[in-house]
Chain A
Amino acid sequence: MNTREIISQIRSCESMCAAGKAATAHFLKVCQSDPSHIPPVARFRVRDIRDCHHDLERTYLVRMFAIFEVTLREFRTRISGRRSHPTVTQLMDGIAARCRMPVDHLTLAHAVREFRNTLVHGGGSGSVTLDEARSHLCRFLSNLPRQW
């Protein structure tokens, strides 16, 4: 595995989200002035386009974190040969210690994890933008070996 490729995948979540936001913003504008642009067979309304537009960043944050988590599980399996399923917190802490990571990099990645948990399971943790999530997760990953 190549860490730079995984970092690119995480970055592409951000650019896909930007493209999606531009597209939904345009479609929303069009449909607000003329709702007949919504295909007759479609099962959504203008309100759904607006909600989709506003929710995209959070959706992509969950997707971005999923790539991050899968990467860490794969890394752990490769380096330790273990197939057990630790919690994401344990996984991040273990890899951070092995990779001699700056404490700040781990702390910021945990902030993304906590916000992702809030999005998926509810609760209240500090909000993280997609831009911040990309930055924090990529910084964490930059401590992994280049090839593994």
Chain B
Amino acid sequence: MARKSTNQIAARADWERKRDDWLAKLRDLIDSIKSWAEQRRWLVDEHEKTIDEDHIGSYPAPTLFIQAPSGKIVVEPIGCNIIGAEGRVDIESFPSLNRLLLILVNGQWTIETDSRIHWPEPWSENVFVKLVDALTSAA
């Protein structure tokens, strides 16, 4: 009984650590995107959404609404309990609903298209700007 309880506490601590690592990475990502967008004088609005995941429960996470000259973009975190990854953030344009995925693997953000084709370039400011343009200009 005591061992089961200890295991449960350890498992709980693991999930909390996983959530905290993910939120720290997410915060860095959101801050970078905000800064890159603001440098270009794009309108940026940060909001909060509630993510609810098994084992972890509900927690708040930041989202971004960006008005770029070519269109609107939403940066939306999906969660950290993702198959084959440590986290996922969707970048979606409106009203076209074109979407890209930022996947956190081994602590690094990688980009996948909506068709789950791996984007060959690493995540960076230049790539972000290029992707915003591609997302908002595609029909």
Contact = CB atoms under 8 A, between A and B. Distances in A.
Contacts of A101: 82-83
A35 interface: no
B123 to A, nearest CB: 15
Given A101-B83, A102-B88, A103-B81, A148 B115 contact: yes
A106 B81 contact: no
A100 B81 contact: no
Contacts of A104: 53-54, 79, 81
A129 interface: no
Output the residue of A98, A103, A106 with the most chain B CB within 10 A.
Answer: A103
Contacts of A106: 83
B90 to A, nearest CB: 10
A99 interface: yes
A96 interface: yes
Interface residues of A, number: 16
B114 A100 contact: no
Contacts of A86: none
A103 B101 contact: no
A102 B116 contact: no
B114 A97 contact: no
A98 B112 CA distance: 11
A79 B114 CA distance: 13
Contacts of B54: 103-104, 107
Interface in B56-96: 78-79, 81-85, 88
A8 B83 CA distance: 26
Contacts of A145: 114-116
Given A103-B54, A103-B83, A146-B114, 16 more contacts: A79-B115, A97-B83, A99-B116, A100-B83, A100-B101, A100-B103, A102-B79, A102-B88, A103-B53, A103-B81, A104-B54, A104-B79, A104-B81, A106-B83, A107-B54, A146-B97
Interface of B: 53-54, 78-79, 81-85, 88, 97-99, 101, 103, 112, 114-116
Interface of A: 79, 96-104, 106-107, 145-148
